[in-house]
Amino acid sequence: MRRRLPGRLLALTPGLARSEADCARLLSKIGEAFEAGLPAVLLREPLLPDGHLLLLAQQVVDLARRFEEQWVGVHDRVHVCRAAGADGVHLGFRSLAPEVARLALAEECTIGFSAHAHDEARSWSGADYLTFGPVRETTSKRGLLEPTGVEGLRRAVLSASQPVLALGGLQPDDVLAMREAGAAGVAVLSGILGAADVGPAVRRFMMALEPSGGGPS
């Protein structure tokens, strides 16, 4: 089997779940997003213990297969990704290096990596795709990382051999600029699964990502 990439739109979960009830609410939101056409979701829930995250990941994988084979990834926890049968794992600077994680994963499992402007490109080695950001101002990175702007994204795209998804404070109106900078798509946290109305939020991003919506094909 070949490795599947997340596609043009990757929604990250908000990272606030602590309990089974939180997981149930999050699963419902992910279902709404899939119904609206979301192609990929990344479960980024650092507060959940492994058992809760594994159950959630298994439920999301099952849900994805009922739709159109949406891509499901797990952030950081390689063992949970493998046990849940998820499509991929997404790593960061605190995680295993991509080349090390590959040793523990099936060949068809996709590996993503969170890249930033200060990284050396060799730290991305072994990843199948990258997220890069924050491109715009975002609450989660305020005081930690300065926004790179479109030019920073463009430089990252030029230096990477992998497809790059733009990340950080993005709205549908930003999509055209991200695609023109060479991004393969966008990764969104608060703008989709953190939104009050998930379905309309997904549809706005998907419309902006269509060639007719202004982005390159």
pLDDT classification of 122: cutoffs 50, 70, 90: confident
pTM: 0.94
In angstroms, the CA 130 to CA 213 distance is: 24
Per-residue pLDDT reduced to its tens digit, 137-174: 776 655 567 899 999 999 999 999 999 999 999 999 99
pLDDT mean over 180-189: 97
Extract the tokens encoding 61.
């994988």
Domain ranges of the chain: 9-210
> What is the distance between the terminal CA atoms of the chain, rounded to a whole angstrom?
26
In angstroms, the CA 89 to CA 78 distance is: 6
Per-residue pLDDT reduced to its tens digit, 18-44: 999 999 999 999 999 999 999 999 999
- Per-residue pLDDT at 9 exceeds 80: yes
Q: Is 9-210 a CATH 3.40.50.620 domain? A: no
Per-residue pLDDT reduced to its tens digit, 99-116: 999 999 999 999 999 999
142 Cβ contact list (under 8 Å, min separation 6): none
Neighbours of 2 (CB within 10 A): 7
In angstroms, the CA 2 to CA 71 distance is: 13
